[in-house]
Amino acid sequence: MSVVPQRPGGWWHDYVCDTHGIELGARDGDEYLCSYGCRLTGEKVEAAWLALEHQALARATRVAAHSYRLNGSANDRERAVTLLVDYAELYDAISADGWSSQSESWMLRGKLFAQALSEAQWAVGIADAVIALGPLPELQESASLARMLAGLAETLTESRRILVDDRSDQRSNYTAWLDAAARLVALATHTLGGEPPAAHLETAIYEHMQIAVRPDGWEWEASTYYHVFVLRAYLLGLRGLDPQAVPVETSGVLRSMIDVLISIAAPDGFLPALHDGPFDREAMHREVLEICTLAAQFFAATGLETVKAWVVERLGVNHDGLESMLDGWFTGAPVASVPAVAGSRYFEDAGYVVLRDPGNRMHAVLDAGPHGGAHGHFDKLSLYLYGDGAKWQPAPAVPPYGHALRHSYYARTVAHPTVRVDGADQLEATADVTSWDAAASRVSAVTTTAIDGVRLSRTVQLSDGFLVDVVHVTSDHDVARSISLGLRPAVDFSVVHEGDRWRSTWDSPGTTSLTGAHWASGDATLELSSGRGPSDDPSRPQHIGNWAATASEATFVSVYSFDPQLSIDSAHATFSDASVVIDISISDQEISRIEVTL
């Protein structure tokens, strides 16, 4: 009897609770359980579970194969071989029917999965297991395994042709995985006695790097998740190569992509979930661990130690240790390189500006870049705030794509800490960084295209102990409009009105709290209301702030203190037509004066 499910998988993003917006958990018979107590049934959720189950079994095959390679365990060998042979027989049966009937019209169709992308990910795991086990007689004698590898190679080639030739989408993240899978399947075939991988399979990976990665190191969509997704595909796809022999321009792209992760990581190593992707998902954490391990074999120094430590702690008992078994992924010595220093940085192509205080206690990200394509959000000039262990005002990410909240809330402006006018979402737009001072951790940016008839600017300065944020909104032709700046905390949040200003508190148990002082020009209201927090738990009630004014022009000033030894009680903002001046006397220190031209 086969140990693998005998049906194809659907789209894993449908494995989501329609009531609570969270990814479902365990299966109980024909019911799929939500942590809030929901029990879902139906073909769509079952197909989604099957997609995840097939991926989980591919990973289990990898774990058993690499464990056998390292320890010679007969049990590990038997488990890995059994899974491979069972999958070969299943693939024989399913692929005979052609492309998946569960695919949606926009998808690049697979056979064992609704999406060819999922099939490529699964194929990488299966091929890795074959390579790790080596030319075992029971594998070489399996005609169905040989047919499966040949069939996968054909499927990957045809899927790539459709994507690149028919759809003209070579830079897609799909292409990265189709290329990685094609090369690993070829390596697996060679392991069992076939021809070595053709040179063009390696070249295809190099070519994709040149068109899909921005000069500043970001994957072109500028989403943390898809950046990690594509970087992992590159590292996996280059298996068996000597890092010293890889073209310099390719090594340079890998180095710059790794440096992105170093630069955006919060003080504790958490990676902000910018644009589409999960906020906190076990599978992604495992992917990040794999990147940390493979990057350390390619480069003599990676700079990812803090990121790796955070992921290992977050996984806890769910850490299966696969990445520690992937030694020897590359041949030859690692490339000597100098990792990026975690400090303030402006990514000129992706448009993100990262600010970091001297003690690495606070970390801010300003989104001033292009929209990001299908995975972008309507969040121009949003400001995300993180501390050491604290996610005060994080990028919210999205729930699994099968849930309506992805588009109806989390991709929209209302979910983000930025400006809306007349209650509408921003348009697909970019912004311009008008001034940047890395030494002072100060940036100014402006957009005139995110909101029709409105100029929106934001200046942020991060100093040792406090952050200053000035948002200025101007309507064309002096037309009064309803202007709202969102405060979108992910922690316990409260607001008190004190004379000409408001005080906010942002409490995260076990971590440093944040205190804010806020002023606005003209008549404004900072309203505390009930909303949503990050997308890992959309139904959890969260206090949020909406700072509103009806005017043709409005300026919003915030000073945040993240040092428990400092107080901003004496801070004050003075407004004029052309500028705002913020005086900050923190405890017994000298007064800091910050002036922002509007």
**DSSP result, 106-169:** TS-B-SSBSBHHHHHHHHHHHHHHHHHH-S-HHHHT-HHHHHHHHHHHHHHHHHHHIIIIIS--
In a domain, 206, yes or no: no
Number of domains in the chain: 3
Is 123 found in the same domain as 6?
A: yes
Judge if 157 and 304 occupy the same domain. no
Give the residue from 142, 175, 199 where a domain finishes. Answer: 199
The residues near 375 (Cβ < 8 Å, ≥ 6 apart) are 221, 223, 225, 226, 275, 276, 277
* Domain co-membership, 266 together with 284: yes
Instruction: Give the predicted TM-score (pTM) of the model.
Output: 0.97
Relative orientation angle of helices 248-264 and 224-237, to the nearest 10 degrees: 140
Domain region containing 441: 345-597
Distance CA 375, CA 228 (A): 14
Say whether both 226 and 115 belong to one domain: no
Instruction: Please check the confidence at residue 120 and state whether its pLDDT lies above 70.
Output: yes
Kindly state the average pLDDT of the residues 368-381. 92
∠ CA 508-270-37, nearest 5°, is: 65
> pLDDT band for position 588 (50/70/90)?
low
| Amino acid 512: pLDDT | 87
CATH number for position 555: 2.70.98.70
Same domain flag for 279 and 160: no
Strand order across the beta sheet in which 31-33 lies: 27-28, 31-33, 39-40
Lowest-pLDDT range, 180-189, 218-227, 261-270, 587-596?
A: 587-596
Could you report the per-residue pLDDT of 124-175, keeping only the tens digit for each?
999 999 999 999 999 999 999 999 999 999 999 999 999 999 999 999 999 9
Residue 590: pLDDT band with limits 50, 70, 90: low
Interval 199-258: pLDDT, tens: 999 999 999 999 999 999 999 999 999 999 999 999 999 999 999 999 999 999 999 999
Q: Which of 305, 303, 291, 301 is nearest to 335 (CA)?
A: 301
Q: Do 359 and 507 share a structural domain?
A: yes
Tell me, yes or no, whether 311 and 275 share the same domain. Answer: yes
Asked whether residue 380 falls in the same domain as residue 323, the answer is no
| Residue 208 falls inside a structural domain | no
Q: Are residues 390 and 467 in the same domain?
A: yes
> pLDDT tens across 275-295, in order?
999 999 999 999 999 999 999
Q: Of 199, 225, 255, which marks where a domain is finished?
A: 199
- For the record, the structure tokens of 324 come out as 């520690």
Last residue of a domain, one of 171, 199, 227: 199
Between CA 590 and CA 592 the distance in angstroms is: 6
- Through-space distance between the first and last CA atoms of the chain, rounded to whole angstroms: 72
Give a yes or no: residue 33 inside a domain.
yes
Please indicate, yes or no, whether residues 328 and 402 belong to a single structural domain of this protein. Answer: no
Any domain includes 88: yes
Both 415 and 460 in one domain: the answer is yes
- pLDDT tens digits, residue range 93-116? 998 888 888 888 888 999 999 999
Query: Chain-wide mean pLDDT for the chain?
Result: 95
Quick check: is 205 in a domain?
A: no
Q: Is residue 207 part of a domain?
A: no
CB 467 within 8 A of CB 461: yes
pLDDT band (50, 70, 90) for residue 568: confident
Whether residues 168 and 230 fall in one domain:
no
Residue 171 domain flag: yes
